[in-house]
Amino acid sequence: MRRKLSKELKRTGLTLREFGHMVARKYRKHVEAETVRALIQEQSSQISSNAFEALLSILSALPDRPAHVPKSTYSKASRRISFNEDMRVQLIAELQRTQIVISDLVKRLKHERDRKALAHRLTRWKRGTVDTVPEDEWLSVIEYLGTIPDAIKSTPSVTPVESQSVEVVRSMPPIAKPAGAQKKAALTNMDDTRAVPDLALNDVGPAKPRARMKRYRLGESLKRLGYIVISDELYNRLHEERKRTLLSPRRLLASATRPPPDLTSKQVRDWFLGNTLAAEKEHLEWVLNAYADLPDANDV
């Protein structure tokens, strides 16, 4: 079966890796994720005997290798698509879900000679410093990440109160918050001794309008990853809590004894700035609860 697969690959002019990307894009429903990963990582020995029949069926329907084949799969002539915030958030979410770092990802996706350039491009995508990306390359990266199972997560640092959701959090009435060691901090493990206001009232402006919210729609892939839209109500709630406590996102996270391991102050800061319009539900709940656990700035 492996000989037949090699023969068909030679006929079509595809490498095992290129065929893997094609399968991920067009035939994902018919091929197991483990098989797609084995193809992309060029590990034919990891392909089960049951998978060969489906792969050979796909290959047999493909035409013979064209007369002229480009040397590289990446080309400036490749169709480019606009790179938006949803795509950046999706990439970050997939990297966090799989716990794979860019250097390891490019090793699985590219031959050695192409890895450095792809790593550079992926870093720019993650930072959101590009306006467009090659469509084929974007799909290859996202589709491959989609074949990787969730990483085994450590014991969560946030203990939910029954099944409290963001909707419950945002509908809670104002709470009288006792100062000092008497305050309740079971949810977020906040340390009062470190939660000292680091902002001046004059430096905390109102929430800025987010023009992009009018046409923003959360993609299905992000919904499946546990993301929700930071609605105007939640956006205003964040700003109200920051103004009430005069605590920056950086100090908020630093004041928690066990903050979520994959939540950074930059992520939270982007929520406040309106740069990011969606957030992981658990992260948003944690931040709102962390602020709610803190006393008013004038009580500290």
Instruction: List pLDDT tens digits, range 127-154.
Output: 888 888 888 889 888 888 888 888 765 4
pLDDT reading at 157 higher than 70: no
Q: At residue 176, does pLDDT exceed 80? A: no
Hey, which residues does 80 pair with through a beta bridge? Answer: 134
Model confidence at 239, pLDDT cuts 50, 70, 90, reads very high
**Residue 186: pLDDT band with limits 50, 70, 90:** very low
The per-residue pLDDT for 159 is: 36
| pLDDT tens digits, one per residue of 81-99 | 888 877 888 898 888 888 8
Given a cut of 60, whether residue 178 has pLDDT beyond it is no
Mean pLDDT of 191-220: 79
> For residue 173, is pLDDT > 50?
no
Tokens encoding 6: 């090699």
| Average predicted confidence (pLDDT) for the chain | 77
Exposure string of 242-281, with b = 16+ CB inside 10 Å and e = fewer, is bbbbbbbbebbbebbeebbebbeeebbebbbebebbbbbe
Residue 179 pLDDT exceeds 70: no
Higher-confidence residue of 295 and 288: namely: 288
**Residue 29 pLDDT class (50, 70, 90 cuts):** confident
Identify the pLDDT of residue 181. 37
pLDDT at 252: 87
pTM of the complete model = 0.48
Task: State the average pLDDT over residues 120-125.
Answer: 90
pLDDT of 175 above 80 = no
Q: What pLDDT score was predicted for residue 153?
A: 54
pLDDT of the residue at 213 = 84
Domains of the chain by residue range: 2-60, 80-146, 166-299
Rounded to an integer, what distance in angstroms lies between the CA atom of residue 44 and that of residue 5?
A: 10
Mind giving me the DSSP string for 122-190? HHHHHHT--SEEEHHHHHHHHHHHHTSPPPPPPPPS---STT--HHHHHHPPP-----GGGS--TTT-B
* Percentage of the chain lying above the pLDDT 70 cut: 80
